[in-house]
Amino acid sequence: MSGNQIHTQGEVINSRFEEYAPSITADGTLLVFTSRRGGKIDESGDYKYYEDIHFSRRDAASGNWMDAEPLTGEVNTETHDAVLSIAPDGSGIFVYKNDGNNAGDIFFSRHNKQDDTWYEATRMGRPINSSYFEGSVSMTADGKTLYFISERMEGFGLGDVYVTQKKGDSWTSPKNLGEVINTDMDEKFVFIHPNGKTLFFASNGHPGMGSYD
């Protein structure tokens, strides 16, 4: 058993409300996450605050994380805006939205370097999004490959892991990663390591300790 332990990030990052779906840039300096700590109440849902995307930067001198704040710009709206993942170079964030009109699609918000704000998240087109549910995505460090979860009909089970390659300004037809990765059950929460060689995901179809491992 190693001596490594899990530690809370403390009040710099966390609040008394819910925080989840953290994602960090490849250089380890920018953390984004979803929080339900303030803003408007979801009166048509669970009567909690709507989700917003927050961030924290690592101080170069001390190595400590700075106080978390909501992302500035147009990415956060009056309804649910949640992190799927951040591009490894910090140039954009993949966003999940749920506003009554959008649910089950992948959106993308670009970073405006000039004033350090974030543009409105726009829906990624086909062939990534389909008429079925898509809700998790991760990009390789070179920005040329996307791994994502989809429940499209040609899969092995419920959610499956797919991969697509960047060709010019568009993406290739997604390829199912096959039975080595996907099962007849559900795969979720895909993450490709910046080295492009190590894939993490959750599954309730592979043998494990309990439900989703």
pLDDT at 1 over 50: no
Report the distance separating Cα 34 and Cα 129, nearest Å.
22
pLDDT at residue 19, as a whole number: 97
DSSP 3-state of 89: coil
Report the distance separating Cα 139 and Cα 71, nearest Å.
21
Q: What is the pLDDT of residues 173-198, one digit of tens each?
A: 999 999 999 999 999 999 999 888 99
Percent of the chain surpassing pLDDT 70: 99
Q: What is the pLDDT of residues 118-177, one digit of tens each?
A: 999 999 999 999 999 998 999 999 999 999 999 999 999 999 999 999 999 899 999 999
Helix, strand, coil abundance in the chain, percent, nearest 5: 0, 40, 60
Band of residue 32 on the pLDDT scale cut at 50, 70, 90? very high
Q: Give me the mean pLDDT over the 81-110 stretch.
A: 92
Predicted structure pTM score: 0.92
